[in-house]
Amino acid sequence: MFRDSIGTDVTILTSNATFQAHTFILKGLFTAEIIPVVKYLTPDIFCTARSSVFAAMFNTNMTENETKTLVISDFDDVVVKGMLEHLYTGETDCMNEQAQDLLKIAEKYDLGGLKADCEYELGDKLDLENAGELLVLAQTHNAPDLKTRAMDFINGYVV
């Protein structure tokens, strides 16, 4: 479903790329009543993909809903593609290289599953060189699990 544009109803524009998506995926419209039907058609991750930001964009008279176009100019194409991959499949090929930017886009668009995966990935990469930077990132982007892990890591070397 992510790799083709069948049934898509929204266009996502970045500086250098265009992506097609389904608003029901962005908004996370699945409810407990239709999960048994949907799970035969799509991965289970769809049932938990929720974004209050995308829901507001596409459930109101906002420009994005009227034009069926979402412009994301503050993140590069790889990060936007990674976000979309995660929404559709529950994983992304660029997590290893783009975890910090994926955390930022997850915070901006209220994507809890992606954000949790980023916190986990970044927490596993904590070292003496990046602990301070990751602590600031966690504080800035409301990532409590990463913040705790970074503080514990730093405290382990201070004591």
Residue scoring higher pLDDT (149 or 54): 149
Determine the 3-state secondary structure of 62 from DSSP.
coil
User: Per-residue pLDDT tens for 93-120?
Assistant: 999 999 999 999 999 999 999 999 999 9
What is the predicted pLDDT for the residue at 159? Answer: 64
CB 46 within 8 A of CB 34: no
CB 98 within 8 A of CB 86: no
User: Per-residue pLDDT tens for 11-23?
Assistant: 999 999 999 998 8
Domain 10-94 has CATH 3.40.120: no
What is the predicted pLDDT for the residue at 88? Answer: 87
Q: Domain-by-domain residue ranges, the chain? A: 10-94
Instruction: State phi, psi for 101 to the nearest 5 degrees.
Output: -70, -35
Distances (CA, A) of 111 to 33, 66, 72, 90, 117: 22, 23, 15, 11, 10
Distances (CA, A) of 65 to 15, 49, 152: 20, 19, 43
CB 146 within 8 A of CB 137: yes
> What is the token pair recorded at 97?
């290289």
CB 94 within 8 A of CB 79: yes
29 — pLDDT class (breaks 50, 70, 90): low
User: Per-residue pLDDT tens for 57-95?
Assistant: 888 899 999 999 999 999 999 999 999 999 988 899 999
Residues 121, 18: Cα–Cα separation, whole Å: 27
Residues 116, 102: Cα–Cα separation, whole Å: 10
Alpha carbon dihedral 83, 85, 87, 92, in 10-degree steps, equals -80
Residue scoring higher pLDDT (25 or 39): 25
